[in-house]
Homo-oligomer: A and B are copies of this chain.
Amino acid sequence: MSNCSHCIMKRFNALKTLTHDELERFSDHKTSLIIKKGENIMTEGNSINGLYCIQDGKCKLTKLNTNGKEQIIKFVKGGDILGHRSILSEEPVGLNATALEDMRVCFIPKGDILESIKDNPQFSLNLIKNISLQLSHANTAISQMAQKPVKDRLAETLLSLEEIFGVDNEDCIDVILTREEIANTIGTATESAIRLLSNLKKDGVIDLLGKKIKILNKNTLKNISEGY
């Protein structure tokens, strides 16, 4: 099995301040998992007894509303960690993490994490910063959901998806989402999302190649996202 102290992921995520010894301890206790597309890594309301470190693959973090609709709160990819909020706050998981494609994930037991939190204040601070940043993003999202029309939110979301996932060798945003998932991200009906995507294509701002989306004019998209 691979060794945490050699894992390139440790350079990218909140684990980067861990010492060699700490990483060795993680290695000894970690388990590697394959999560198939559509499966859940974590499920809303469940307890969790460790932290997930995403090696490879993409997933969506969602919340089921009282009206039965799914809201996508955040996208997560290789290098990100999951479950630390729940461990630190000692509360059940707040969101579903569902794989958008097959994923490789490491699970590190809670005990080892808490040990490092106690020993390594810098690690602890990194986790706090991570959660604080998420809170800051969430507040921005509340404001945008509440105040901006659907078209603006779609533009914003497309830019943000390219920011998060980058582009493939054909300059398309490097993630495959259904139209329904896009709608559940911006908070609108699937048909509305489809219609607005078609309009953006007609206006030459984006191109649609099946499920792949290519941004043709980033500036225009940015203007739309700000209401112009």
Size band of the A side of the interface? 35 or more
**For chain A residues 48-90, which have a beta carbon within 8 Å of chain B?**
63, 65-67, 69, 71, 73, 85, 88-90
Q: Mark A209-228, 1 if CB is under 8 A from B, else 0.
A: 00000000000000000110
A187 touches B67 (CB 8 A): no
Assess whether B88 is in contact with A148, with CB atoms less than 8 Å apart: no
A186's partner among B63, B132, B138, B146 (CB-CB below 8 A) is B146
Copies of this chain present in the complex amount to: 2
Contact status A143-B89, CB under 8 Å: no
Q: Known: A88-B128, A89-B132. Contact between A146 and B67, CB under 8 A?
A: no
Determine whether the beta carbon of A132 is less than 8 Å from that of B131.
yes
The B-contacting residues of A in range 128-164, CB under 8 angstroms, are 128-129, 131-136, 138-148
| Contact between chains at B89 and A147 (CB < 8 Å) | no
Contacts of A202 in B (CB 8 A): none
Chain A residues 89-111 with CB under 8 Å of chain B are 89-91, 94-95
Closest CB-CB distance, A132 to chain B, in whole Å?
4
